[in-house]
Amino acid sequence: MAKRDALSRAVHWGWREFQQAGVVTADTRAGRAFARFGRGSIMAFPPGAVFGEDGIAVGEDTLIGQLVTISAGTVPGQDLCGMTLLAIGDRCVIGRGSHIVAHESVTIGDDVWTGPYVYITDQNHGYEDPDVPIGSQFPVNRPVSIGAGSWLGAGAIILPGATIGRNVVVAAGAVVRGVVPDQCVVAGVPAKIVREHTKAGWQPARAASRKLDVRLSRQVGWSLSELRRGGADTVALFALRPARTRHRGVRGVALPEEDLA
């Protein structure tokens, strides 16, 4: 038992020494391989797969956790012609086991934190030809941008073409595509806005107004926001038009007062 305890202590001591020796900083050889590796930033040991360092820029005081895979380009050793494909800002935290895969452009703003096992990529498999295996078709690249101050929960997936605003919360397990505005909370698959910051503070998403916008657009070609911009007279005229009045063959839509505010 004493021999086993001694061996265990030796293994744990040795592992801690390996971890400390393997940390990547701006002053290490591994850090100097990056296009930029800012002062005060560290990449924990052991890392995940890391390649294309000359196309990766890391800001200052950023922490990249253990087993994080970051890559630029398609294969190790690829000539990136001096381009920076992946940019991570200052004071970011990239959670354990996350993957950030850049083929065209992935930009992560300052103060972005992620939970563990987040996946961010700007490339998807093409599937246009139904007769060719998807893995054999050309991939499609679309730039990804994540705004400063955002938080990505554990297991979130950020798909190609996603543009996430500032101070956005992405719930754990959410799958994000398209444009996400500033200062909101998104959740689900695909991710949808569930909370947003207004003049009154953080509020549940205005689901009723969003549904009304869709209904108006389908029926008369106008959205609620367009009606609001038209002024009170336009809104009143539209809301109060008699039922027999039609626009493109559709009855006038009565707007609830709270949706006109």
Other Cβ atoms less than 10 A from the Cβ of 80: the count is 16
Q: Starting from the edge strand earliest in sequence, which strands make up the sheet with 144-146, in order?
A: 36-37, 56-58, 86-88, 106-108, 144-146, 163-164, 179-180
Q: Which run of H or E residues covers position 260?
A: helix 257-260
Active-site annotation holds for 103: no
C-alpha radius of gyration, the chain, whole number = 25
In DSSP notation, 167-235 reads: T-EE-TT-EE-SEE-SSEEEETTTTEEEEEEETTEEEE--HHHHHHHHHHHHHHS--HHHHHHT-HHHH
Q: Are 162 and 105 contacting, i.e. CB atoms less than 8 angstroms apart?
A: no
User: Which one is catalytic: 12, 99, 103, 125?
Assistant: 125
Residue 201 CA, distance from chain mean position: 23
- Could you tell me which residues are beta bridge partners of residue 160? none
Q: Which residues of 218-251 are buried (b: 16+ CB within 10 A; e: fewer)?
A: eebebbbeebeeeeeeebeebbeeeeeeeeeeee
**Residues forming the active site:** 125
